């Protein structure tokens, strides 16, 4: 079995590959591999750009551990939902919708597995919203000896179980193979998505008001252009919701599903369809055309508003492959970082036909969260997978690191545990890892580099 990440950034040829049918088989596979001296890693959708899922030992695909295990409704309308760890987010969203429920927040695609997404700190955007790991209330995981542990945020603070929960809900699979995840979800809701094209300086100068003024806010720009496309997503009121549903009822009273109009302009016209693929091929063959291509892409962007169920608004499609680096920054540093990145891109003349993306989340207390302890802005740089990225990503990373940035665990970066020790309680993480994995079965090169040895 050969494994390649979605972005074509890493490959692996594991000694063994298995897709257990159930948790009992998963336990036996893990224990046997450990006894045979093999390292063990689970892989979700392979959507990390880093080598987080890479192993030369046993690679486990958990697609069969998918779907609903239990649902517990609460009086306030929220619910605790336990799903198999291999459940893909698109399946999770459909399943939740069928129960009138939804995730509080999502990232911008839905191809990942829930275990993979939480393990790297996947986040969406929203100044008052946390990343996916903040929505996790409990996990069940298989340890290297084949035993099973269930841990949750209900375990006593400071207890071994509570500490294990912290690293299990966001820890690169370094304390066990997750077999089930319990999420706190909310009643289904609609979002109004408003897309606007605005002057670059206006967005950067007013970014705090834009972040704080909307439930969710996202901004994109094509390097070298001076306009930004902004997306704001705001929850609609009950009255607007009733009106929206009435407008979507067919003659027989059945609800029509929202079609292409429920998607964004950038998604429909630029990022998803063949246009961007064609643009990338031209850019790769003739890098000098990139400024003109970017100007043309920016020129077709337009204003648009639509209302749709939350997951349909937040989730976009990405068909053109790219490589990505994303850093989490203290919010106060964002404006200057964007100005510096823009200055570098203009001065270097680097051909970059992919947009830069800007998002935010609320501070949280998850040990390895990139938003740990501070309100956070995210800046992501992308490059078409067939074009050189080293110079661009190196320059961007220097700017991000100088501003106190923390790299996304699933996106390209060069930081090491020594660099990250100021940002995270890595000694505590190592202690928790050593307790459950004294033989280092769950290590790989990436965990060695970014978390250090247990
Ligand atoms: C097109 C695209 C768009 C993206 N958009 C966003 C975004 O909007 N926001 C964002 O924050 N990130 C985003 N990402 C990054 C992505 O969400 C993360 O890299 C995520 O980890 C990918 O999930 P996956 O299921 O593919 O996990 P993988 O990449 O397969 O694995 C990630 C990590 O999880 C571990 N793992 C997987 N399953 C288990 C398990 N059962 N038990 C223990 N460990 C496990 C793996 O070993 C590995 O360490 C995007 C990536 C791509 C390619």
Residue nearest to atom 48 of ligand 1 (CA): 53
Round to whole Å and give the CA distance between 323 and 385.
6
* CB-ligand 1 contact for 451 (6 Å cutoff): no
Decide: 167 and 367 in contact? Cβ < 8 Å. yes
* CB-ligand 1 contact for 173 (6 Å cutoff): yes
Decide: 130 and 371 in contact? Cβ < 8 Å. yes
Q: What is the pLDDT of residues 37-63, one digit of tens each?
A: 999 999 999 999 999 999 999 999 999
Domain regions of the chain by residue span:
3-61, 68-188, 190-246+259-407
CATH architecture of 190-246+259-407: 3-Layer(aba) Sandwich (3.40)
Per-residue confidence (pLDDT) for residue 165, from 0 to 100: 98
Task: Indicate the CATH number of 68-188 among 3.40.50.300, 1.10.3210.10, 3.30.465.10, 3.50.50.60.
Answer: 3.30.465.10
Closest CA to 404 of 375, 435, 383: 375
Cα-atom radius of gyration of the chain, to the nearest Å?
A: 22
Q: Ligand 1, residues 29, 39, 43: which to mutate, most atoms within 8 A of Cβ?
A: 43
Q: Which CATH number describes the domain made up of 3-61?
A: 3.30.43.10
Task: Indicate which atom in ligand 1 lies nearest the CA of residue 119.
Answer: 34
Per-residue confidence (pLDDT) for residue 280, from 0 to 100: 77
Residue nearest to atom 36 of ligand 1 (CA): 116
34, 228, 316, 421, 437 from 23: Cα distances, Å: 16, 47, 32, 35, 19
* 450 CA to centre of ligand 1 in angstroms: 16
Task: Indicate which atom in ligand 1 lies nearest the CA of residue 48.
Answer: 19
Per-residue confidence (pLDDT) for residue 260, from 0 to 100: 43
Task: Indicate which atom in ligand 1 lies nearest the CA of residue 45.
Answer: 26
Per-residue confidence (pLDDT) for residue 258, from 0 to 100: 46
* CB-ligand 1 contact for 183 (6 Å cutoff): no
Residue nearest to atom 44 of ligand 1 (CA): 173
* Half-sphere exposure (Cβ direction) of 332: Cα atoms closer than 13 Å: 2
Per-residue confidence (pLDDT) for residue 263, from 0 to 100: 53
* 415 CA to centre of ligand 1 in angstroms: 18
Extract the residue ranges of the chain whose pLDDT is less than 70.
248-275, 300-301
* 268 CA to centre of ligand 1 in angstroms: 24
* 44 CA to centre of ligand 1 in angstroms: 7
């Amino acid at each position: 079995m050969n494994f390649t990440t979605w972005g074509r950034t890493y490959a692996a040829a594991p000694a063994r590959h298995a897709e257990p049918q159930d948790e009992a088989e998963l336990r036996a596979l893990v224990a046997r591999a450990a006894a045979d001296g093999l390292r063990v890693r689970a892989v979700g959708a392979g959507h990390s750009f880093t080598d987080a899922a890479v192993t030369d030992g046993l690679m486990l695909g958990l697609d069969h551990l998918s779907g609903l295990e239990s649902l517990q409704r609460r009086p306030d309308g929220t619910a605790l939902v336990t799903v198999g760890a291999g459940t893909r987010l698109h399946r999770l969203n459909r399943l939740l919708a069928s129960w009138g429920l939804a995730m509080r927040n999502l990232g911008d695609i839905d191809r990942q597995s829930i275990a993979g997404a939480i393990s790297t700190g996947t986040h969406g955007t929203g100044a008052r919203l946390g990343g996916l790991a903040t929505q996790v209330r409990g996990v069940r995981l298989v340890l290297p000896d084949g035993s099973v542990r269930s841990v949750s945020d209900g375990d006593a603070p400071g207890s071994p179980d509570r500490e294990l929960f912290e690293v299990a809900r966001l820890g690169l699979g370094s304390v066990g193979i997750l077999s089930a995840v319990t999420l706190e979800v909310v009643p289904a809701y609609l979002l109004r998505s408003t897309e606007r094209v605005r002057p670059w300086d206006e967005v950067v100068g007013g970014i705090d008001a834009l972040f704080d003024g909307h439930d969710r806010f996202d901004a994109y720009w094509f390097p070298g252009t001076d306009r930004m496309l902004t997306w704001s997503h705001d929850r609609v009121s009950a009255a607007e919701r009733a009106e929206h549903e009435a407008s979507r009822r067919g003659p027989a009273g059945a609800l029509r599903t929202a079609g292409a109009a429920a998607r964004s302009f950038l998604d429909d016209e630029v990022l998803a369809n063949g246009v961007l693929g064609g643009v990338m091929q031209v850019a790769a063959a003739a890098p000098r055309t990139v400024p003109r291509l970017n100007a043309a892409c920016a020129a077709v962007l337009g204003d648009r508003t639509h209302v749709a169920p939350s997951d349909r608004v937040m989730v976009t499609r990405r068909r053109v492959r790219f490589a990505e680096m994303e850093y989490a920054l203290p919010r106060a540093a964002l404006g200057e970082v964007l100005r510096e990145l823009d200055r570098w891109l203009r001065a270097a003349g680097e051909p970059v036909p992919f947009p830069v993306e800007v998002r935010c989340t609320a501070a949280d207390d998850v040990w390895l969260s990139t938003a740990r302890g501070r309100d956070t802005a995210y800046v992501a740089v992308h490059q078409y997978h067939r074009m050189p990225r080293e110079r661009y990503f190196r320059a961007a990373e220097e700017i991000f690191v100088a501003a106190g940035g923390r790299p996304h665990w699933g996106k390209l970066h060069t930081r090491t545990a020594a660099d990250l020790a100021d940002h995270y309680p890595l000694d505590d993480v190592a202690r928790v890892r050593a307790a459950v994995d004294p033989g280092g079965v769950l290590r790989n090169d990436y965990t060695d580099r970014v978390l250090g040895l247990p």
